[in-house]
Amino acid sequence: MGDDAPFNRLRALRAARGLTQADLASAVGVSRKTINTVENRVFIPSTLVALKLARALGCRVNEVFTLDPVDPPPDSAANGGKPMNFDQIIDRRGTHCSKWDMMAPIYGVSPDTGLAMWVADMDFHPPQAVQNALQAVLDHGVYGYFGDDAAYRAAICWWMQARHGWQPDPDHIFTTHGLVNAVGLCLQTWTAPGDGVVLFTPVYHAFARTIRAAGRRVVECPLVQQGGRYEMDLAAAEAQMTGAERMVILCSPHNPGGRVWSAQELRDLAAFCTRHDMLLISDEIHHDLTMPGQTHIPMPLAAPEIADRLVMLTAASKTFNLAGTHCGNVIIADAGLRAQFAATLGAMGISPNSFGLHAVTAAYSPEGAVWVDALQTYLDENRRVFDAGIHAIPGLRSMELESTYLAWVDFAGTGMTREEFTARVEQGAQIAANHGTTFGAGGESFLRFNLGAPRAVIEDAVARLQRAFEDLQ
């Protein structure tokens, strides 16, 4: 691990002053083992210890725990010295994971003979830095309340700056139990029963589910296909507005279909929100999973003029496969909106889960960045293999993904009913894939296939689908 990693300039600074770990430990009043674990990035010090360390080293705290973008560690240290092996088949059956252990009751596809390609998590281990951080928590073995999230916030800010060129203020970050939870909290904070909430459909299904469960109204604005990819039709949406819509929930990048919205599209949407006096909730959970040549633009960079009506939702969970730790962020620049959201969190008694904070802090690091670079390359090849196999089947079309690992396949060209193509995939190919109808209007002829799996699984899926539709060949 590089001495230049954030939270880990300690070793270099200590060595430059000729201090041993024991010297520093006694100056700060902690054990030598603590110094060692902080230097190896497996332990996040509290702000108090961080301040004492900085004082003992005669420098400012952000010289030790920097927020500056830094060079990635050398290859040998990229994944804690362990090879990154996305080809490894990891048997998740019987581990209480929804993807494999719920496929039989939901899709009638047995995990013994079938492939789970639905729920949006990946069949990969996270980076070694995350494993180390969680292992350190287990080794310590006391699972009490988490007390100081300064390093966590700093890690988020570092990541957003280093990967997306956006520097949020650490004080603007709230932590929730994931982003569906965040959407629910936003609805409670800024809408009332009966209010309209605009979605560009087809879109991530939990948005509509949460809106309806809260007694609000889903206003579906259908995406249109132009040149084989989705675009927002704001002229049509304009005509749908009645004055009773309070909020737009944007999915950026878009799930399903994988669009990476352009700066102009984001600016046009921002202007639409302003014209109709609506809040914009920008769910950017897929922001790191862009395909080569694509650049995700965070909403505050595309449209800084709407800071007073913008709520950003981000998370490390899709990027690093940490969904089960249920940790998401709501980032709000506007002080008034921030106070209102804080009031909701207070009223609900929400505080974060410590495992999520430890995992995310370790993931948002130079080691994590190297891992994500490798993941993006791997997913791009999965996409290529899958699309080539799908396009060899007459009548099937996989939308060209600009981001995400969620292939969106249109069966309309087969002329089959939804029941027939779904049966061929589930009972014929023995694949559990999300039904397009769950994503709202426009999804009827589609199934969504999760490509976040070892290449051999993708190749197997392609072979199964080609057999299930071989009479069309």
Give residues in contact with ligand PLP (CB under 6 A): 120, 178-180, 204, 251, 255, 283, 285, 315, 317, 323, 328
Residue 317 contacts by C-beta under 8 Å, 6 or more apart in sequence? 178, 179, 285, 323, 325, 326, 327, 328
Min dist CB 196 to ligand PLP, Å, is: 20
Strand partners, 279: 247
Is the four-CA dihedral 81, 378, 69, 146 of positive or negative sign? Answer: negative
Min dist CB 327 to ligand PLP, Å, is: 8
Min dist CB 98 to ligand PLP, Å, is: 11
**127 vs 178, beta carbon nearer ligand PLP:** 178
Q: Does residue 176 contact residue 232 with C-beta atoms inside 8 Å?
A: no
Min dist CB 241 to ligand PLP, Å, is: 23
Helix (H) or strand (E) holding 218: strand 217-222
**Joined tokens for residue 397:** 């079309």
**DSSP structure string for 174-211:** EEESSHHHHHHHHHHHH--TT-EEEEEES--HHHHHHH
C-alpha distances out from residue 180 to 297, 319, 323, 372, Å: 22, 16, 11, 23
Min dist CB 227 to ligand PLP, Å, is: 23
Q: Burial, 374: exposed, middle or buried (Cβ in 10 Å; 0-12, 13-18, 19+)?
A: middle
Q: Compute the distance between CA of residue 130 and CA of residue 429 in angstroms, rounded to an integer.
A: 35
**170 vs 324, beta carbon nearer ligand PLP:** 324
**66 vs 317, beta carbon nearer ligand PLP:** 317
Min dist CB 428 to ligand PLP, Å, is: 26
| Residue whose C-alpha is closest to residue 278's, from 245, 311, 238 | 245
Min dist CB 372 to ligand PLP, Å, is: 17
Alpha helix (H) residue ranges in 227-326: 234-240, 263-275, 299-302, 317-320
**157 vs 179, beta carbon nearer ligand PLP:** 179
